[in-house]
Structure 1
Amino acid sequence: MKALLQRVSEANVVVDGVIVGQIEQGVLAYIGIGHDDDLTTAKKMIDKILSYRIFENTIDFDKQGKLDWNVQQADGGLLLVSQFTLMANTDKGRRPDFGQAMPPHQAGKLFDELVEYTKSVYPKVATGKFGANMQVTAVNDGPLNFILQV
């Protein structure tokens, strides 16, 4: 499983002209699900995302400016968006190979389980719509972007 994290001031996902997920300051996380991933992998990824320190400490004067806080400490939102293209093999040729991505019917179920788990451990969660053509708008804060893999 791979995730592309973006620290954002705001982000939203639109499907068919309707906002289906929206956050203010927080993390936009694109999630790529591979063949071997399961709920254990998904939980590890979410735990890593929620604890990953990409926000400045705004209280401790000695630590201001350092990336000491995670999204929970910063009281930010988490917007989860499925993105099979993160699993692309781009080593050869000029066209991505998506053979490493889990098939959509299995990945959709696992993504739903990932979202359910996330909401059980953190209340400020929004999502896109799995398998839909989504328009994602984000104001990248920094910009800070990180690729995580578990």
Structure 2
Amino acid sequence: MDQSTRQAWMSLLAKAPAEQLKALWAATGLAPDHTTLRAPEVGGVMLRGRMGGTGAPFNLGEMTVTRCSLKLADGAVGHAYVQGRDKDKARIAALIDALMQTDAAMTLRAAVLVPLEVAMAEAKRTRAAKAAATKVDFFTMVRGED
């Protein structure tokens, strides 16, 4: 497993709607033995921004996050940082992260990650279509007085 692959599924889990993630997780029926390394806890992080993506960094504001770390019986360690105060979502995301490092990875990818990717891509297309419907094209007419 390479770092970019793990980053991709952790990003997907962090951005996923909580109710959808919980429903997909419940449907798997998995209940792995694990030890909690860091119980889900709520905190804040400072968001930084840059003008135009290249300017000097500035503090944009704070965001509430929940983090969780756990260790499976086989030694795999899972971590999660999710937006908001949903401790269950953080725990489930950490469990999935840990299980994705085991033999259960293919099963979880098909049962949880792929459906999340499809649903989130569809939601993005829907938002883009709504925004496109409100687009205004401005044009200049030549009056012929020149």
Which category describes the TM-score, using the shorter chain as reference length? under 0.3
By relative contact order (CA 8 Å, sep 6+), the higher-ranking structure is 1
Structure with the largest fraction of strand:
1
Q: Between Structure 1 and Structure 2, whose CA radius of gyration is higher?
A: 2
Q: TM-score, normalised by structure 2?
A: 0.25
Q: TM-score, normalised by structure 1?
A: 0.25
Structure with the largest fraction of helix:
2
